[in-house]
Structure 1
Amino acid sequence: MAASRRRPRLDEPAVLRVRVTLEHSDPPIVRVLDLRSDLRLDQVHEVLQVAFGWADSHLHRFALGESVFDDTSEKFLCSFDVEEQDDGVPETTVHLDETLSRPGDVLRYCYDYGDDWSLDLVLEDVQALDRVSVSARCVAAERAAPPEDCGSRRTAEELAGVLADPAHVDVHDINEVLGSPLARLVTGPFTPDLVAALLPLTGSLPDRIVPGLLAQLDEPAPLDRAEKERALSTIRWFLERIGADGLAMTAAGWLRPEDVVAASEMVPDGPDWIGKKNREIDTVPVHQFRLMLADLGLTRKYEGRLRLSKSGAAAYDDPDRLWRLLAGALPPGKTRTFARQAGLLVLAQIAATGVSDTDAVARALTNLGWRTSDGRRVDGFQAYDATRAVHAALASLDPSRHRRMRRPEDSFGPAGRQLAFEALLDLH
């Protein structure tokens, strides 16, 4: 097996200025793009489709080497070619800075294997990334691109037969599409699971989730270590109480009364809970909080005791590590399951608006095709029930407030919004 041509990832994300030229075009058909270095190649494909005005109705692939079909090239494949078991790796597993990192590097791309729209992506410059940088922007363009299915026309004379003005291209129009909420979702740093959940909703759900959510889904101001430490105080208190020896549990598998009483003074909604608050089965906020810690992989039951998991033990006294662990664990659940899609929608709501509205999430889940076992539409309580761990985790980050986790709609502060946003990022 030949050695990979891929480069190590850049230490920090940057802006790559890339000159993209359609092969054999005369005069040259060119787009100059500023692209975030951490874009996956499937996202770069979406940008190229916008930049050249194509409709993503044909197959495509990328390659490092002489061409995308050369036997010696390293190929990065679209999903169809992966399913066909073509030679190469999925484009979804490769980032742009693994293919372009030094000025002069060249990445090949081909769209529509019949018309053979082959593009050369040449790295011109590596620039610093700042908070206002977008994922993709067109900075210059030369000449209109060939339209779909025009028979591989690429000279001015040939294109004059299918275009009103082969010389006309509008950079503003390209950037208007690249800057749209939908394009920012597709080319943004978000987990593919979130994109898969939101894309089907973009034309069907005119409420808080889409499109208003997409328009507001920007990175919040980051928290410093001290702010994270304050936000995590409730979770860290519970993990520290478990400690290295664990907590003995009752024969029925519940927390002991003294631990329930202590926890009820710390967890969200606990201090205002009715009753003596000495039985876990009757003290819902404590029970939900304990289940949340287990769902996120921080604790486990073993030989009659509640113990820290390996990851929980390694992270509970390190706020930064614990924060990263929580971001990576939210939302719990396997890909494309009801619970995970519900959790992603709630996290997106909170990250974008600071509000969780499970009635809106229920409508979104219904639009995604989910139904109850007897065929009914999803309701707000079912959406909330599936996202209890998400609500409990984010509610715990505001220890100064005794937030009611059981309401179908609730607001969250800066820490909750920040963790929700980080949980949506594609960190692979």
Structure 2
Amino acid sequence: MNEDEVERRFRELTAGMSAADLLDLAGALASRRIAAVTHPPRPELRHPRREVVAVFRVRADIEGAKPPIWRRLDLRSTITLDTLHDVLQAAFRWTDSHLHRFALGGGVWDRDSQLFLCPFDVDDPDSDEEGVPEREVRLDEVMTEPGDVLRYVYDYGDAWQVTLRLEKVMSTDADATNGPVPIALCVDGRRAAPPEDSRGLDAEALSSLQPDPDHFEATGVNAALTDVRFRMREAGVLPEVIATIDRLRYAAAYLPDPDSDPHHSPTPDTDTLPTDPLIEAAAHALAAPESPVDPAERAASLRTWAWFLQRADGDGIPLTAAGYLKPTDVAEVSQILPTSDAWLTTSTREIDHSFFLHFREALVRQGFLRKVKGRLLLTRIGASARKTPDRVWQALVDRWRGVVAGTHVVNARPGSTDAAYLRDATVCVLLAVAAGERFRASWGDKEPGGLDHAARWLGTLGWRVEGEPVQGRDLYALPIRVVLENLWDGVRDRADEGEMSDTARRFAREVLRHTPSSE
């Protein structure tokens, strides 16, 4: 568009404007021009990712420390910056109790550097920082050649700033016979790092927290780098899930000793954290590789989904005038639905079988079917899933993974408290099932079940139901129950109540990961 065309278009757009409107427009244009000069967009400084995995030897120095405090780390080039943050926390023995960020091309507070933000800063609606989520950026995008520098700040109050300098790029060939290259290894370092919240303390107070400032052992750092949370990252566990597990694992460390000063806020010893054995079991289950899939077993566990999707092909499944499945379909489904309660009654009316109704409504809520003019028709997702059991499985996993990641909402309004509660409740139930627990709640003096553990975890996360602690029985109505209890080969016996199949446990683990572990 040439200058004359621009002028013509401007006259057309401003024709009829009053003098006041024109003054407002001029002011707005001037403000934008000033903003573009005073707050230019941050640069894009990332490099293309390497095609071949390498090991980067990086030295991390705490800026301004005298005598110097540093760590030398061997890092896999493919790790993302959120993982690098975890490595640095382990290297300097910090507890990830504060915010952090990375910067490329300058300091973390410089306007001309590119920022990589922690999840809180990404999600903060009041933040005007321009940056890329750290979980989306790999190490080999911000470092490529010896001498390259990346900067990191931890705790915006104490502002511990760390300079990371790439010293050497090494091949992974030497480690090929010893299995996968580890995420990180500490090979050297000097002096103990400053403790959490210690900036500004006088020498006497600091000496009580750091009795031997000269002490450093790489073995202690490397022991921390073998924690299950690093193996969960290796297995592709969703960051949101790792964050939830971290909160549950570390919660016990902050519980005060009954015999201690009630006003004292304890500082956890990250080497000896008291934790919940079931949470540990869930974390290790998610970190472990999966056994090979049995296609026949998976297909058998998905028979009811397949029946509905096949039956809905073409003209769809006709419903009664009252909107229920027809008796002939109820009679047929009752022979394959795992949670069928047909043994309670000989009725073939869907209204008399709550589990039939719950399952059918779940197919609609989960996007497989839609109700149109008295018929259940296939959606696009349902039409694709209908073709093979593997597609049914993947559609279910994708749907519930979206719930866990917060990109999909079930039975609630997006952004509402109910949506946040249902998300956390779903994660807690899936963690209990992944860890090997049954899907049941205790009543009276019975042994606690998986729902009781999930309810206790929800309490740890701060949730209440009508002001009261969450109970296991409060979770039985969760939509995830319909999926988990119906991933079963055939109709359940009464003795199978609350049991989970191996397929259901695999489903729970797969939903909680980015991708399947190894199949």
| Fold match by TM threshold 0.5 | yes
Q: After the TM superposition, which of the residue ranges 297-306 and 175-184 deviates more from structure 2?
A: 175-184
Of 471, 493, 500, which residue of structure 2 is paired with 1:411? 500
CA shift, 1:268, in A, is 0.4
In structure 1, the gaps of 5 or more residues are 153-158
Of 198, 205, 212, which residue of structure 2 is paired with 1:164? 212
Deviations 1:320-378 (A, max 9, x none): 443222112125636763322221112112222264321222222233333333x3332
How far apart, in 2, do the equivalents of 1:257 and 1:8 lie? Answer: 60
**Counterpart of 2:169?**
124
SS of structure 2 residue aligned to 1:288: helix
**Counterpart of 1:267?**
337
- Summarize the Cα distance change of 1:139–1:56 in structure 2 as closer, same or farther, 3 Å threshold: closer
1:233 matches 2:303: yes
Deviations 1:67-119 (A, max 9, x none): 33343321112356554534322535523257358565653323356655222
Q: Which has the higher contact order (CA 8 A, sep 6+)?
A: 1
**Counterpart of 2:33?**
none
**Counterpart of 1:96?**
138
1:341 matches 2:424: yes
CA shift, 1:288, in A, is 2.3
How far apart, in 2, do the equivalents of 1:223 and 1:266 lie? Answer: 25
How far apart, in 1, do the equivalents of 2:162 and 2:151 lie? Answer: 7
- Summarize the Cα distance change of 1:260–1:405 in structure 2 as closer, same or farther, 3 Å threshold: farther
- The residue identity in structure 2 corresponding to 1:412 is S
**Counterpart of 1:380?**
472
CA shift, 1:423, in A, is 0.5
How far apart, in 1, do the equivalents of 2:475 and 2:60 lie? Answer: 48
How far apart, in 1, do the equivalents of 2:169 and 2:384 lie? Answer: 43
SS of structure 2 residue aligned to 1:110: strand
Residues 219 and 421 in structure 1, CA contact (< 8 A), matched pair in contact too: no
1:44 matches 2:84: yes
- The residue identity in structure 1 corresponding to 2:287 is D
How does 1:203-282 map onto structure 2 within 5 Å? 203-204=251-252, 209-224=278-293, 226-227=295-296, 228-270=298-340, 273-282=343-352
**Counterpart of 1:397?**
487
SS of structure 2 residue aligned to 1:164: coil
Deviations 1:161-211 (A, max 9, x none): x77363x42232123323334665688733344345444433349656434
Q: After the TM superposition, which of the residue ranges 295-304 and 253-262 deviates more from structure 2?
A: 295-304
How far apart, in 1, do the equivalents of 2:51 and 2:321 lie? Answer: 51
**Counterpart of 1:314?**
384
1:422 matches 2:510: yes
CA shift, 1:379, in A, is 2.3
- The residue identity in structure 2 corresponding to 1:383 is L
- The residue identity in structure 1 corresponding to 2:58 is R
CA shift, 1:150, in A, is 6.6
- The residue identity in structure 2 corresponding to 1:284 is S
- Summarize the Cα distance change of 1:284–1:70 in structure 2 as closer, same or farther, 3 Å threshold: same
Residues 279 and 431 in structure 2, CA contact (< 8 A), matched pair in contact too: no
TM-score normalised to structure 1 length: 0.79
In terms of fraction of residues, the more strand-rich structure is 1
- The residue identity in structure 1 corresponding to 2:241 is L
In structure 2, the gaps of 5 or more residues are 1-40, 201-206, 253-273, 404-408, 440-449
Residues 115 and 130 in structure 2, CA contact (< 8 A), matched pair in contact too: yes
CA shift, 1:282, in A, is 1.3
Residues 458 and 470 in structure 2, CA contact (< 8 A), matched pair in contact too: yes
How does 1:144-183 map onto structure 2 within 5 Å? 144-148=191-195, 164=212, 166=214, 168-181=215-228
How far apart, in 2, do the equivalents of 1:368 and 1:219 lie? Answer: 25
Deviations 1:289-337 (A, max 9, x none): 2122223222221222112222121222144443222112125636763
Residues 64 and 99 in structure 1, CA contact (< 8 A), matched pair in contact too: no
Q: Report the identity percentage.
A: 30
- The residue identity in structure 2 corresponding to 1:117 is Q
- Summarize the Cα distance change of 1:178–1:224 in structure 2 as closer, same or farther, 3 Å threshold: same
SS of structure 2 residue aligned to 1:217: helix
SS of structure 2 residue aligned to 1:262: helix
RMSD after superposition = 3.9
- The residue identity in structure 2 corresponding to 1:395 is E
- Summarize the Cα distance change of 1:313–1:303 in structure 2 as closer, same or farther, 3 Å threshold: same
In terms of fraction of residues, the more helix-rich structure is 2
Of 15, 29, 32, which residue of structure 1 is paired with 2:73? 32
- Summarize the Cα distance change of 1:218–1:98 in structure 2 as closer, same or farther, 3 Å threshold: same
How far apart, in 1, do the equivalents of 2:508 and 2:457 lie? Answer: 18
TM-score normalised to structure 2 length: 0.67
CA shift, 1:420, in A, is 1.0
- Summarize the Cα distance change of 1:310–1:284 in structure 2 as closer, same or farther, 3 Å threshold: same
Tell me how many residue pairs correspond in the alignment: 411
CA shift, 1:62, in A, is 0.7
Residues 36 and 134 in structure 1, CA contact (< 8 A), matched pair in contact too: no
- Summarize the Cα distance change of 1:369–1:354 in structure 2 as closer, same or farther, 3 Å threshold: closer
How far apart, in 2, do the equivalents of 1:17 and 1:276 lie? Answer: 68
Residues 62 and 107 in structure 1, CA contact (< 8 A), matched pair in contact too: yes
- Summarize the Cα distance change of 1:270–1:46 in structure 2 as closer, same or farther, 3 Å threshold: same
CA shift, 1:48, in A, is 0.8
- Summarize the Cα distance change of 1:6–1:280 in structure 2 as closer, same or farther, 3 Å threshold: farther
How far apart, in 2, do the equivalents of 1:316 and 1:405 lie? Answer: 32
CA shift, 1:247, in A, is 0.9
SS of structure 2 residue aligned to 1:237: helix
Residues 17 and 125 in structure 1, CA contact (< 8 A), matched pair in contact too: yes
How far apart, in 2, do the equivalents of 1:305 and 1:184 lie? Answer: 47
SS of structure 2 residue aligned to 1:69: coil
CA shift, 1:214, in A, is 2.9
- Summarize the Cα distance change of 1:234–1:38 in structure 2 as closer, same or farther, 3 Å threshold: farther
Q: Which protein has the larger Cα radius of gyration, Structure 1 or Structure 2?
A: 2
How far apart, in 2, do the equivalents of 1:329 and 1:135 lie? Answer: 32
Residues 299 and 309 in structure 1, CA contact (< 8 A), matched pair in contact too: yes
- The residue identity in structure 1 corresponding to 2:356 is V
